[in-house]
Amino acid sequence: MALLAPPPSFSPADSAHAVATVYTASLLALVPVALAAVIAFALRRSNAQGRALAWRSAVVVLLLIVVGRQFPLHWMAWVVPAALAAPLVALGRVQVTSVSVALGGGQSSTAVMGVAAMIFFVYAAGVVGVLASTVTGLWRARRIRQRARPADASWERAVDEARATLGIRRRIRVLVSRDVSVPLTWGYWRPVIILPAALPRWTAYERRLVMLHEAEHARSGDWLFALAARAACALYWFHPAAWWTANQLRADCELACDERVVAAGVRCSDYADLLVRAADALAMSRNADTLPALALSRRGGLRTRLAALLDARREVRPLARRWAAAATAATVIASAPLTAIELAPTRDVLTTLMRDARWESRAYAVLGLAQRPDSIAVARSAAALDPSPRVREWARYALDRHAMPAPSPISSTHR
């Protein structure tokens, strides 16, 4: 809910507001993750591309929820029940107290304000930590690419054949490096497939399988969405749903590439044998899982991939383009309201707070009640009768700020 503009420096009110913003974003994040989980469950026997699209949409919405918090106009949703409203109320107390102190109208509780600042800086440290590990991985992958040498003509022919099969127009470079133990795909606009220098004696048929899998990663833009998922994990590092979504996205992207290889006419048993051998090679590598690249095979999830390959009931036909368009449209439709929503406690929670002995609770509550047409009478009563002069002042401020000819659902929030 809107408060008076805080002082220019980063005050406890700023910290409390930032923490409240993160908290409401984490509540909203449950919506796209739950929706994607329902879609993935419904498609569990269908094409993995459909599940991957659902997880991609969830990742995009997770990012847009945070971006939407930075815009000044929001639609207030008075839906947070008492069980979930306690953090918002506590942070609201910090905000009204901090602003009152800054304006010379009250005394602060250093301990309470310090907790809000500490929570914010712990959150910021978590974001920086996850982003730092991602940037380090990108730097290492770039160094590996720079030190790699071009692959021989047989691999170039294999990737050209894969591009033709998958309908890929942009060029895909194939490099060889001593720093990787399994084939990896890196980049989106200029994709690169990096092969291990200690290559097994793969036949031309097996080289075709490898290139089909890695080229499908490039065609689908899996590397770009993997980075987006990593950014979502940084912003929601404390949220298990964000990490679970990223893991599900990676797993279903691998399954989708496997299915695309099989759909190209490859025997499932041949491809499963190749995955097992690639996973054995990966077990000897110490850095493949830390690079922001997409490997042919990982130890984790290999059993699931093999079971999916050998499951005759699964559908492996490529996903029609209309489903990709539908997923994009669903992302836009779902993200628009979520980015514009600002969550607030229910009316019952706010009216209950008006009986709280602490003036800070009543001041926070009156700010919300003054915005609701069905509660303006309570705010007016507080402006005239509340025993605390600070609550009466906050009530008059809120009533003046939100006085308008007709009620509006749009609330402008000071940043």
Tens of pLDDT, residue by residue over 74-121, are 788 899 999 999 999 988 888 888 777 666 555 545 555 577 788 889
Q: Kindly state the percentage of the chain with pLDDT values over 70.
A: 81
Segment 259-285 shows an average pLDDT of 76
pLDDT in tens, 308-333: 776 656 666 666 667 777 777 777 78
| pLDDT reported for residue 315 | 60
State yes or no: pLDDT of 2 exceeds 50. Answer: no
Tell me, what's the pLDDT at 124?
93
Q: Please check the confidence at residue 407 and state whether its pLDDT lies above 50.
A: no
Cα separation, 51 vs 304, whole angstroms: 15
The better pLDDT of the pair 47, 252 is held by 252
Asked if pLDDT for residue 68 goes beyond 50, the answer is: yes
For residue 369, pLDDT over 70 is answered with yes
With 0-12 CB in 10 A as exposed, 13-18 as middle and 19+ as buried, what is 12? buried
Angle between helices 222-235 and 110-147 (to 10 degrees): 160
DSSP label of 185: E
Cβ-based neighbours of 196, under 8 Å, separated by 6 or more: 176, 177, 178, 180, 181, 182, 183, 281
Output 359 or 268, whichever has higher pLDDT.
359
Q: Round to whole Å and give the CA distance between 222 and 228.
A: 10
What pLDDT does residue 60 have? 92
Q: What is the mean pLDDT of residues 133-146?
A: 90
The pLDDT of residue 7: 39
Would you state the pLDDT for residue 276? 78
List, in order, residues 6 or more apart from 321 with CB less than 8 Å away: none
Q: Helix, strand, or coil here: 67?
A: helix
Residue 330: its pLDDT value, please?
77
Closest residue by Cα to residue 53 from 320, 336, 335: 320
Q: What are phi and psi of 27, to 5 degrees?
A: -70, -45
pLDDT confidence of residue 293:
53
Does residue 246 carry a pLDDT above 90? yes
Are 307 and 325 in contact by the 8 Å Cβ rule? The answer is no
409: pLDDT strictly greater than 80: no
Give pLDDT, residue 114: 74
On average, the pLDDT of the chain sits at: 82
pLDDT band of 69, cuts 50, 70, 90: confident
151 φ/ψ sector (left φ>0, alpha ψ -120 to 50, else beta): beta
Better-predicted residue by pLDDT, 354 or 110: 354
